[in-house]
């Protein structure tokens, strides 16, 4: 075990600020060798410093090597001094140095120096000189910033000692796209720390230097950009080893991730893929951030505006964390790292101080944020480095996000009616699309079973997904045609092509009119078997239209949409009112309510969750609500109240083991109270996990029905995330592997419980005969698909469906199944 290293303590008024500074510093010493303790804030949200907490932090990292304490604002210094006075052990007090270095820059260089085995005095001196690179670049020394370690320091003595020895020299070229910036510079310093040699660097291209290679703050002053030559000069017993280490490190590109690979890491696609049926024609429209700098009147006095600002920051931060988590799973941590810039902007102390000052002067929170971030955006846009200049777009995104959090207005909008082209749409964005303005949409990423696609089908908006990043380059206003049934995208169509699609659209409209005319009639196969065709709903507002469209009931109410996009959960009364609207529209037909299904890509702002490496395999659905019983009980009480008035189905999502179902039933009985469970309430589960499908008999004693959620079942069976464009073609519920699980469920259920399918495949014309052949007699589809699915059922007879289904189970993939269905049923 090596000698102890100097410990570091961060004292700040803000706990989030301190954590962010530590995260930045540990990026420079990722091996975790340096112990850093935080004493910041009075709690998670309250600003302030606490001498007792500082003393505890010092004790946590103390060792014979000593401790260096870095502080932010004035009272932090007084708290740190008081903490030293309160320490009982005089030996510990003598080992502590309070540093006047800038907190963020000082901590970064101090961590690197400590990791290299520097003494307490050297660490403090390195921290003290941390602003030197910035001050020299901007033309003048910072107050209190010297030319490096303090005169007389051990590092300075080392340099003098080696001055007369023969030099070893070499050069390397900087190949990093953004030059020798903080992270690679930190690796350089760490590589030579502790060697018995005096090492200096000089930028041969610009003439900057020489500077000591063991000082991060000095290395940064070289401003070594891509293509610059850096000369290494070393003297002392280990001079050769020092030079060799640095040349080898440069040859490895300072162990940085390959930038070219990261930039081009967009998921490969083979799209576009059909996502929502219908033909639409119009000009291309891209979502643009609102450019609205007009004054907005304050809602309240400055104190109220500051509270609104803080609440909006919390909401925006939660949304960024959610998007980053999803993006990490889809495109990797390197690409998703862009959202760290958004978080840093939201928590930037200078920006927040500017916002607070403007609010104090009488501005509204909206105006203050727009003005403060607008100033930052203009500064960044004027930078000479194109990489940094491009980051102005991040500022614009954060400004739009804060405006949305404060006003409730969409952060981005279309320039006019047409076909929306976007990278992706969140469920909330898809639900808010203006049907009059958005004739259809095309997404670069996503899949046909993403929530955006599901909402498009429920709202009758033609859509394509997984079209590839190149579609985002199609110019605004370019005329396009999309067919959401076939996956066709035609850019700048000729008059002949336009006529062909217009004729196709008319034929489709006539066909839909025929289907709607017969929608109220039951769906009966050619050989006399009745098949129930129900509707999937996301909101009460859809219920009346679905009932009028011929739905035989509601097979799935996605109750989570009542819980999303708000700052607190709905009350029991709100839920009862929402559920009653649906049951009233469908009375006496049954309605199936699915309990809250969030997690994964559907977070709740008021239900903070720690980041997960793979949220789709983490805490979501029933797993999550069992961990939050108060939320679950509120919903179950509302369900029981409605179920006492009308027959109702209750369905639990994402069930993996029977013990979860039993725990959910216990909560249901608790919610029902002394009256007991309502007589007309039937209990079911979603079968979405392959394990649950295979061991269904273990659940049957506690069930009245099961509903197969093929979207997630396909995702988990085929290891293809449903929202990932790169694997969208794999995540097809007609894959024989998924069909075998559906077959297993139908066989296990037999005559004991009813089986329905509420996944999107239930509305797929190619899937209907296969599902009927496997034994499914209840299909739950988007409300607009009900007439067409009923018409499809009437064309089929079960004998041919059974034969086709058995053959499908033996085929190799979903494409082969679809081709087989076409050959049998046309």
- Annotated catalytic, 758? yes
Contact 603, 322 (CB under 8 A): yes
Torsion of CA 37, 39, 44, 50, to 10 degrees: 160
As given in the structure block, the two tokens for residue 117 are 């085995």
Kindly give the pairing relationship between strand 438-443 and strand 418-422: parallel
CB count, 10 Å around CB of 589?
A: 17
Containing 637, the helix (H) or strand (E) segment is helix 629-643
Catalytic-labelled residue, pool 451, 578, 640, 801: 451
Chain-centre distance of CA 380, in angstroms? 25
Q: Are 482 and 758 in contact (CB under 8 A)?
A: no
In this structure, the strands spanning 96-99 and 168-173 are unpaired
Comparing C-alpha atoms, which of 248, 262, 269, 247 is closest to residue 201? 247
The per-residue DSSP string of 11-45 comes to EES-HHHHHHHHHHHHHHSTT--S-EEEEESSSSS
DSSP letter string over 264-296? Answer: T-PPP----EEEE--EEEEEEEE-EE-------
User: What H or E segment, with its residue span, contains residue 771?
Assistant: helix 768-774
Q: Which residues pair with 593 in a beta bridge?
A: 557, 650
3-state secondary structure 419-454: EEEECCCCHHHHHHCCCCCEEEEEECCCCCCCHHHH
- Which has the closest alpha carbon to 707: 761, 651, 665, 770? 651
What's phi and psi for 94, nearest 5 deg? -70, -20
Structure token pair of residue 355: 């916002």
Element (H, E) at 464: strand 463-465
Alpha-carbon distance of 561 to 118, in angstroms, equals 56
Rg of the chain over all Cα atoms, to the nearest angstrom: 32
Torsion angle defined by CA atoms of residues 580, 582, 586 and 587, in that order, rounded to the nearest 10 degrees: -10
| Closest-CA residue to 484 (of 234, 279, 256) | 279
What is the Cα–Cα distance from 513 to 515, expressed in whole angstroms? Answer: 5
Long-range CB contacts for residues 514-521, cutoff 8 Å, separation at least 24: 514/791, 515/787, 515/788, 515/790, 515/791, 516/549, 516/550, 516/787, 518/550, 518/787, 518/790, 518/791, 519/549, 519/550, 519/786, 519/787, 519/790, 520/550, 521/550, 521/790
Helices (H), 87-172: 90-94, 103-115, 120-128, 132-138, 154-161
Q: Where are the beta strands (DSSP E) in 209-347?
A: 211-212, 229-235, 273-276, 279-286, 288-289
Say if residues 575 and 638 touch (Cβ distance below 8 Å). Answer: yes
For residue 163, give both structure tokens. 């001055």
The encoded tokens of residue 571 equal 């009350």
Residue in 13, 640, 746, 758 annotated catalytic: 758
Q: Is the dihedral of CA 420, 422, 425, 428 positive or negative?
A: negative
Taking alpha carbons only, the member of 519, 518, 552, 590 closest to residue 777 is 552
- b/e 163-192 (16+ beta carbons within 10 angstroms → b): eeeeebebebebebbbbbbbbbbbbbbbbb
Whether 722 contacts 416, CB under 8 Å: no
- 451 among known catalytic residues: yes
| Terminal Cα distance for the chain, rounded | 74
Q: Which residues are catalytic?
A: 451, 758
């Amino acid at each position: 075990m090596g000698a102890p290293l100097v410990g570091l303590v961060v004292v700040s008024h803000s706990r989030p600020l301190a954590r962010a500074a530590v995260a930045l510093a540990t990026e420079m010493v990722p091996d975790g060798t340096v112990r850093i303790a935080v004493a910041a804030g009075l709690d998670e949200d309250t600003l302030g410093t606490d001498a007792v907490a500082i003393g505890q932090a010092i004790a946590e990292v103390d060792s014979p090597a000593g401790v260096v304490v870095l502080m932010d604002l004035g009272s932090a210094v007084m708290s740190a001094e008081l903490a030293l006075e309160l320490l009982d052990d005089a030996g510990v007090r003598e080992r502590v140095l309070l540093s006047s270095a800038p907190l963020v820059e000082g901590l970064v260089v101090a961590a690197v120096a400590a990791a290299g085995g520097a003494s307490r005095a050297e660490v403090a001196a390195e921290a003290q000189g941390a602003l030197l690179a910035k001050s020299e670049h901007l033309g003048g020394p910072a107050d209190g910033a010297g030319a490096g370690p303090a005169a007389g320091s051990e590092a300075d003595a080392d340099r003098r000692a080696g001055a007369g020895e023969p030099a070893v020299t070499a050069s390397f070229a900087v190949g990093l796209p953004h030059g020798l910036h903080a992270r690679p510079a930190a690796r350089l310093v760490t590589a030579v720390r502790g060697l018995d040699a005096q090492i200096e660097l000089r930028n041969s291209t610009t003439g900057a230097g020489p500077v000591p290679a063991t000082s991060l703050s000095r290395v940064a002053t070289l401003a070594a950009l891509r293509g610059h030559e850096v000369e290494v000069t070393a003297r002392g017993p280990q001079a050769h080893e020092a030079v060799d280490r640095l040349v080898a490190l440069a040859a490895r590109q300072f162990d940085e991730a390959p930038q070219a690979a990261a930039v081009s890491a967009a998921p490969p696609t083979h799209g576009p893929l059909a996502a929502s049926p219908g033909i639409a024609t119009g000009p291309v429209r891209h979502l643009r951030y609102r450019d609205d700098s007009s004054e907005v009147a304050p809602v309240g006095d400055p104190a109220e505006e500051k509270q609104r600002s803080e609440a909006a920051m919390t909401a925006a931060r939660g949304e960024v964390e959610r998007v980053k988590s999803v993006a990490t799973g889809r495109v990797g941590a390197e690409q998703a790292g862009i959202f760290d810039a958004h978080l840093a902007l939201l928590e930037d102390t200078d920006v927040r101080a500017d916002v607070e000052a403007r609010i104090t002067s009488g501005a509204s929170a909206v105006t203050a944020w727009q003005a403060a971030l607008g100033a930052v955006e203009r500064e960044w846009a004027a930078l000479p480095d194109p990489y940094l200049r491009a980051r102005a777009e991040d500022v614009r995104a954060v400004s739009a996000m804060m405006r949305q959090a404060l006003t409730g207005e969409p952060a981005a909008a279309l320039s006019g009616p047409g076909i929306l082209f976007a990278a992706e749409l969140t469920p909330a964005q898809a639900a808010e699309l203006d049907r009059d303005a958005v004739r259809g949409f095309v997404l670069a990423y996503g899949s046909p079973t993403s929530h955006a696609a599901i909402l498009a089908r429920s709202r009758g908006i033609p859509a394509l997904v997984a079209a590839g990043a190149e579609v985002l380059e199609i110019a605004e206003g370019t005329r396009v045609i999309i067919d959401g049934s076939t996956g066709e995208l035609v850019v700048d169509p000729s008059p002949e092509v336009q006529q062909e699609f217009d004729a196709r659209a008319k034929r489709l409209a006539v066909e839909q009119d025929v289907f709607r005319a017969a929608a109220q009639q039951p769906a009966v196969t050619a050989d006399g078997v009745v098949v129930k065709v129900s509707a999937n709903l996301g909101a009460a507002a859809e219920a009346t239209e679905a009932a009028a469209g011929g739905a035989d009931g509601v097979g799935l109410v996605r109750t989570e949409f009542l819980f999303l996009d708000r700052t607190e959960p709905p009350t029991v009364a709100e839920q009862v009112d929402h559920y009653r609207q649906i049951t009233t529209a469908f009375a006496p037909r049954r309605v199936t309510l699915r309990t809250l299904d969030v997690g994964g890509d559907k977070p709740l702002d008021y239900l903070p969750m720690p980041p997960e490496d793979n949220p789709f395999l983490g805490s979501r659905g029933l797993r999550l609500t069992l961990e939050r019983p108060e939320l679950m009980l509120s919903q179950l009480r509302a369900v029981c109240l409605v179920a006492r008035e009308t027959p109702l189905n209750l369905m639990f999502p994402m069930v993996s083991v029977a013990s979860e179902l039993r725990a959910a039933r216990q909560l249901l009985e608790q919610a029902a109270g002394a009256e007991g469970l309502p007589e007309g309430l039937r209990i079911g589960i979603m079968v979405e996990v392959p394990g649950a499908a295979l061991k269904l008999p273990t659940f049957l004693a506690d069930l009245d029905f099961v509903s197969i959620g093929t979207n997630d079942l396909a995702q988990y069976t085929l290891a293809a995330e449903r929202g990932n464009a790169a694997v969208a073609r794999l995540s097809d519920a007609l894959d024989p592997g998924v069909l075998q699980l559906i077959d297993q469920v139908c066989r296990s259920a037999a005559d004991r419980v009813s089986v329905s399918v509420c996944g999107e495949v239930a509305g797929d014309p190619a899937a209907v005969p296969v599902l009927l052949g496997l034994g499914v007699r209840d299909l739950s589809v988007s409300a607009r698909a009900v007439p067409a699915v009923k018409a499809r059922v009437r064309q089929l007879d079960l004998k041919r469906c059974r034969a086709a289904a058995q053959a499908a189970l033996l085929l190799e993939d979903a494409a082969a199944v679809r081709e087989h269905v076409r050959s049998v049923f046309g």
